[in-house]
Amino acid sequence: MAAHAPAREKRAATLEERARLALDGVLDPELDEPITDLGFVRSIEADGDHRLTVHLRLPTSFCAPNFAYLMASDAKDVLTALPGVGAVTVLLDDHHDSDLINRGLAADAGYRGTFGAEAEKDLEELRLIFRRKAHAAAMERALAALLRQDTSLTEEGLHAIVLGDLPGTEATHALLQRREALGLGTSPSDPAMVDDHGLPYPAGEIPLRLRFARSVRLSIDGNAHFCRALLRTRYPDAAPDQSPRQEDSTLITPEKEHTP
């Protein structure tokens, strides 16, 4: 039996790598960033029988329980879907509702089954709220960059901009991903400035809608920076687990003023 131990350990290590790659696709619902980049994945362990145990952590013990559950549930879902994986255990550490959330995850009780009467919205309703916010932020990033790039373009002029007019940048790619997650069109001929249902805004409403989207984006970006710092304060060993956040130039670059 001992002769097989190295091979079993090698399989386990490979599974841990695959698990981390899978967790790259799990976004913090409020911050719209991978939980791996944020440092929220505390540890990943696989044994020779392909059983996975993952510990998650958050910046504070009082982060909203619904956000925490959504993150942990999504993590368990992507890990369970990995080919060849055995049992999956996802544990949320050091949260005031850790015991409740961990019991619910272990029993596959679902959101309402875990929180009972405290669950004001079901999981898909929560997911939709955050996906819409992420779309608004991504749309503002992409269109604000276009306004800075083309000084002749006005905010009202964004009414005529279609996805095919956007440059092939990371901001555009992120916007297409957020639209796809909402079931919105991603064709090059689809309008870029749209509401939650994919309908274009009237030209006269665009400056106001753009400012609202900007406020959503600033809230997400600011919270992401704050939560990263809080996590490092709470867990001094977390810094190496965080990936550097790409600086968003829209945080420091003045936007083009709207002139009536």
* Sequence-distant (≥ 6) Cβ neighbours of residue 240 within 8 angstroms: none
Q: Which residue has the tokens 């905010």?
A: 155
pLDDT at position 254: 38
135: exposed, middle or buried (Cβ count in 10 Å: 0-12, 13-18, 19+): buried
| Residue-number span of the structural domain to which 52 is assigned | 2-118
**First-residue to last-residue Cα distance in the chain:** 79
User: Does residue 212 share a domain with residue 132?
Assistant: yes
User: Does residue 72 share a domain with residue 131?
Assistant: no
Q: Would the pTM count as exceeding 0.75?
A: yes
User: Does residue 127 share a domain with residue 65?
Assistant: no
pLDDT digits (tens, 9 = 90+) for 5-56: 455 445 555 899 999 999 999 999 999 999 999 999 999 999 989 999 999 9
* Sequence-distant (≥ 6) Cβ neighbours of residue 227 within 8 angstroms: 28, 31, 38, 59
Q: Average the pLDDT over 176-182 and give the result.
A: 97
Q: Residue 251: pLDDT above 60?
A: no
User: Does residue 172 share a domain with residue 107?
Assistant: no
User: Does residue 200 share a domain with residue 145?
Assistant: yes
Give the chain's domain count. Answer: 2
User: Does residue 234 share a domain with residue 202?
Assistant: yes
- Would 258 be classed as within a structural domain? no
pLDDT digits (tens, 9 = 90+) for 48-77: 899 999 999 999 999 999 899 999 999 999
pLDDT at position 55: 99
Distance of CA 188 to the CA centre of its chain: 25
Give how far Cα 22 sits from Cα of 26, 183, 197, 209, 221, Å: 7, 22, 29, 35, 24
Q: End of a domain among 118, 153, 182? A: 118
Nearest to 126 by CA among 62, 5, 256, 30: 30
* Sequence-distant (≥ 6) Cβ neighbours of residue 255 within 8 angstroms: 144, 147, 148, 214
Q: End of a domain among 96, 118, 140? A: 118
Furthest C-alpha separation in the chain = 79
- Would 259 be classed as within a structural domain? no
Q: Which amino acid is at 222?
A: G
